[in-house]
Amino acid sequence: MGRLITFSGHAIALVTAFGLLARYVSPHTFWPPSVVALLLPILLLLTFLFVLLQLFRGHWRTAVFPLLVLLGAYPILGRLFAWPESAPTLTDDSPVVTLVTGNQRFFRSADGADVDTTRVARTFRSYGAHIALLQEIRTVTYRINYIPQVQSAEHLRERDQKKGTLVATYGTSPEHITSSFSEPNEYNGFVVTDMMTSLGKLRIINAHLETNRISNLAQNMGGKDSFGDRLETFGRMLTGYGRATRVRAQQADTIRALVEASPYPVIVGGDFNDVPSSYTYNQLLTPRLRDAWAARGSGLGTTFTGPLPGLRIDYFLVDTSLTIVDIERLSPQWSDHRPLRLTVTK
């Protein structure tokens, strides 16, 4: 039994070390570590428990390798499990800007029905946001597009949304700068908007990076499918995930260049479809930006509530020239993503 425990612990530590490569290795070169990175929080926990067990048993030598793996993970622990910094001190006249981001899943509830328009209007007014970064929203071609309901909020009366795309930034007097979307459906991509605020002009990058498209496959695995069918489905999931990680890596490189070239403070937000241990995240988190959840959040910060739970894939990355006052996860309402609300000041 002791040998089995040791073998299993070392195997888990080895897989964990493989997943830790994800943030360094471009998916264009080698994408499998990005799959393991999805499971890093639980893998690190199991590795830590194995180290404790071996130390308790007095098996010091067998604890060396997994302990080295844990030390290698130390730089990203604050991304995977946030411990908030002390809150900044604000005066009554301190200017602040509040932003909200959320994947709206086309304003459809879990059963596929359209969400009540009154509920949508009430929800967006309750956010109290000056700027909203929305993904998977409807275009003007829909009979019920929910644009008036979002614009019923005091500060969200104008929007920047390229025709035919499903990403929109709402605020006051938005100035469109550029946008980029995946062909041919313009479903995934990003839009860059300058917004005048009480903190001066801010450059807002609203991103819905390439979707993995594995949720439906994950839901369908099981039931009466044979083992061969499940194996085939799992293979399609891996192939699709590998393709998506490569696209996201390219999108991240493009956004990184835009951040570095911006003449104004930048806030990048949205649905990145990737975890904090990924190459995509590592590329987006330039020296100029801070992860708002890692700085002021608490715990794992899970934002995805779908069939692959426990994932933090929605973010706010904030220019270091701005001070992060607060960030919180909001109730998911009609989507399988939890919105984030961020408050910043100078």
User: For 334-345, how does the pLDDT look when each residue is reduced to its tens digit (9 = 90+)?
Assistant: 999 999 999 999
The 10s digit of each residue's pLDDT in 199-228 is: 999 999 999 999 986 555 455 545 555 555
Q: What is the mean pLDDT of residues 127-142?
A: 96
Mean pLDDT of 114-135: 97
CATH architecture of 96-345: 4-Layer Sandwich (3.60)
Local confidence band at 239 (pLDDT 50, 70, 90 cut-offs): low
Lowest model confidence (mean pLDDT) among 74-83, 84-93, 271-280: 84-93
pLDDT in the model for residue 172: 94
Q: What is the pLDDT of residue 307?
A: 76
Distances (CA, A) of 220 to 127, 224, 305: 35, 10, 17
Average pLDDT over residues 48-72: 95
Mean pLDDT in residue range 224-253: 71
| Burial (0-12, 13-18, 19+ Cβ within 10 Å), 137 | buried
Could you tell me which residues come within 8 angstroms of residue 214 by beta carbon, excluding any fewer than 6 positions away?
237, 240, 241, 308
pTM of the predicted model as reported, rounded to 2 decimal places: 0.92
Each residue's pLDDT tens digit, 279-325: 999 999 999 999 999 999 999 999 998 877 789 999 999 999 999 99
pLDDT tens for each residue of 155-205: 999 999 999 999 999 999 999 999 999 877 788 999 999 999 999 999 999
> What is the arithmetic mean of pLDDT over 44-60?
94
Domain with CATH 3.60.10.10 in the chain: 96-345
> What is the overall mean pLDDT for the chain?
91
- Res 235: pLDDT: 54
Structure confidence at residue 94 (pLDDT):
87
**Could you tell me what percent of the chain has a pLDDT over 90?**
80
Which runs of consecutive H residues, i.e. helices, occur in the chain?
2-20, 32-37, 40-57, 64-73, 77-80, 117-127, 147-151, 215-220, 227-261, 279-284, 292-296
Phi, psi torsion values for 110, nearest 5 degrees: -60, -30
Higher pLDDT residue, 235 or 332?
332
What is residue 263's three-state secondary structure? coil
Q: How many residues does the chain have?
A: 346
Residue 95 has pLDDT above 80, yes or no: yes
Strand partners of residue 323: 345
